[in-house]
């Protein structure tokens, strides 16, 4: 018989061997493991997955505005019918102005209450029942983006919100086609319903628009991404080289001062000392003049300045008396030589007009008429 110490050693050796064993590498690419195969769908959650149901009842309620009351009254039977299929109760309180959803004992899907909560939230945010009921599907999600607090100025907020919608809703329609989402802009919120990937893009575009980035830039990049996604080779590569790089054009430039001070070159030596009044007088020779001579020089300088000023004023006054330059007289062109008038032809026309009475027939016309009357008489006979 083997001793117990030997058995322990053998067991310990077996464990260490098992620890040192590395998993065998599989012959699969990482890109294949990361990508979802085309046409694959997540299996639906059925009662077989959770036959015992839920332990406790859960409920959610949300308020709705007064203007939605009439529409909710009409479509509430349809809401109840859609939620009863998933064993969820829905109640509408018109006095309090609230909608409530609650699970029952028959409810088996634990996440359906979250989807029911999103349904009543979308109905409160002016989304139609036909679009809101899609949230109960497994592959559809929703996102309610609050944009009211992103812009302080009310006028600026309205302009940017209208920019998101576009002329006749064209920008919003383009965004819906590119993201496969339904988008509803109402008041201070933007509601979006669609796949998860599309909702992510919608949120980015909406927030960028509120930050004064035009949605057309994001729409262009989404169009390029959609074309690149069709190519199987480019799926695992970076798309930054294909996407456009937009620069901010209207950057606030700093106001430059009118008087620019140019910095002088640095020198270690101090500037030269300015000359004093005595130095200037010594240089010009005024220092050695007598008081009378200095006074006379000052008076002469003043009189010279006065004479210049008087002459300038006189020139300005004389300008009014200077006659303006006359324009050169243009000689009229000689009348063209009159065409020679044919007097004989005019006389003949006047004679014919006198002979012919107003509305009277000519001699030839009368003869033709007489012949026609005679022919008619012969035919009657």
Tens-place pLDDT, residues 42-68:
888 888 888 888 888 999 999 999 999
Q: In the predicted model, is pLDDT for residue 243 greater than 70?
A: yes
Helix (H, G, I), strand (E, B) or coil at 103: strand
| Residue 230 shares a structural domain with residue 291 | no
- Helix intervals (H) in 270-362: 277-284, 291-319, 343-355
Strands, sheet with 59-63, edge to edge from the N-terminal-most edge strand: 59-63, 98-103, 88-93
Q: What is the pLDDT of residues 267-308, one digit of tens each?
A: 899 888 899 989 988 888 888 888 898 899 899 999 999 999
| Residue 61 shares a structural domain with residue 94 | yes
Query: 230, 247, 264 — which closes off a domain?
Result: 247
| Residue 78 shares a structural domain with residue 173 | no
Residue 12 lies in a domain: no
| Residue 242 shares a structural domain with residue 156 | yes
* Domain assignment of residue 110, given as a range: 44-138
Phi (first) and psi of residue 129, to 5 degrees:
-65, -35
| Residue 51 shares a structural domain with residue 104 | yes
- Cα dihedral 212, 216, 219, 223, rounded to 10, equals -150
Q: In the predicted model, is pLDDT for residue 18 greater than 50?
A: no
Count CB atoms within 10 A of the CB of residue 255.
6
pLDDT at 359: 55
Query: 269, 287, 317 — which closes off a domain?
Result: 317
* Average pLDDT score, the chain: 83
- Among the listed ranges 31-40, 159-168, 239-248, 272-281, which one has the minimum average pLDDT value? 31-40
Number of domains in the chain: 3
| Residue 78 shares a structural domain with residue 148 | no
Burial category of 375 from C-beta neighbours within 10 Å (exposed 0-12, middle 13-18, buried 19 and up): exposed
| Residue 207 shares a structural domain with residue 305 | no
Residue 94 lies in a domain: yes
Q: Using CA atoms, how far apart are residues 372 and 378, in angstroms rounded to an integer?
A: 10
Q: What is the pLDDT of residues 213-229, one digit of tens each?
A: 999 989 999 998 888 88
The mean per-residue pLDDT over the stretch 14-24 comes to: 46
| Residue 156 shares a structural domain with residue 71 | no
pLDDT at 10: 47
The mean per-residue pLDDT over the stretch 92-106 comes to: 93
Residue 271 lies in a domain: no
Q: For residue 88, what is the domain's CATH number?
A: 3.30.1370.10
Query: 259, 288, 317 — which closes off a domain?
Result: 317
| Residue 108 shares a structural domain with residue 162 | no
The mean per-residue pLDDT over the stretch 12-31 comes to: 49
Residue 286 lies in a domain: yes
| Residue 232 shares a structural domain with residue 294 | no
Residue 363 lies in a domain: no
356: which DSSP letter?
S
| Residue 147 shares a structural domain with residue 188 | yes
Residue 231 lies in a domain: yes
The mean per-residue pLDDT over the stretch 176-186 comes to: 94
The mean per-residue pLDDT over the stretch 27-50 comes to: 73
| Residue 215 shares a structural domain with residue 236 | yes
- Residue 180's nearest CA partner among 171, 167, 192 is 192
The mean per-residue pLDDT over the stretch 128-143 comes to: 93
Q: What is the pLDDT of residues 302-359, one digit of tens each?
A: 999 999 999 999 999 998 888 888 888 877 765 555 556 777 888 888 777 766 655 5
């Amino acid at each position: 018989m083997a001793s117990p110490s030997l058995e322990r050693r053998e067991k310990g050796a077996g464990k260490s061997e098992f620890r040192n064993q590395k998993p065998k590498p599989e012959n699969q690419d990482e890109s294949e493991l990361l990508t979802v195969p085309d046409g694959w769908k997540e299996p639906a959650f059925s009662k077989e997955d959770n036959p015992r149901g839920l332990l406790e009842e859960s409920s959610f309620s949300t308020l709705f505005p007064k203007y939605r009351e009439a529409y909710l009254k009409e479509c509430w039977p349809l809401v109840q019918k859609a939620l009863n299929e998933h064993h969820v109760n829905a109640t509408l309180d018109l006095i309090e102005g609230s909608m409530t959803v609650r699970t029952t004992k028959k409810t088996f899907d634990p996440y359906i209450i979250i989807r029911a909560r999103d349904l009543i939230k979308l109905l409160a945010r002016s989304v139609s029942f036909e679009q809101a009921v899609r949230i109960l599907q497994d592959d559809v999600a929703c996102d309610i983006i609050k944009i009211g607090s992103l812009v302080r100025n009310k006028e600026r907020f309205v302009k940017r919100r209208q920019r998101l919608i576009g002329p006749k809703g064209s920008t919003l329609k383009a965004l819906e086609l590119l993201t496969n989402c339904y988008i509803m802009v109402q008041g201070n919120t933007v509601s979006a319903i669609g796949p998860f990937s599309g909702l992510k893009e919608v949120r980015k575009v909406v927030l960028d628009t509120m930050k004064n980035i035009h949605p057309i830039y994001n729409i262009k990049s989404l169009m390029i991404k959609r074309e690149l996604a069709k190519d199987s080779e480019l799926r695992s590569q970076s798309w930054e080289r294909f996407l456009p790089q937009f620069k901010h054009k209207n950057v606030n430039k700093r106001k430059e001062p009118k008087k620019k001070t140019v910095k002088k070159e640095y020198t270690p030596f101090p500037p030269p000392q300015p000359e004093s009044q005595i130095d200037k007088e010594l240089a010009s020779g005024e220092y050695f003049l007598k008081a009378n001579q200095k006074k006379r020089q000052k008076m002469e300088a003043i009189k010279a300045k006065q004479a210049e000023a008087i002459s300038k004023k006189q020139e300005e006054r004389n300008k009014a008396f200077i006659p303006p330059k006359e324009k050169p007289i243009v000689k009229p062109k000689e009348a063209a030589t009159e065409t020679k008038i044919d007097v004989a032809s005019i006389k003949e026309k006047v004679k014919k007009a006198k002979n012919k009475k107003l509305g009277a027939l000519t001699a030839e016309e009368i003869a033709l008429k007489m012949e026609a009357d005679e022919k008619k008489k012969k035919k009657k006979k």
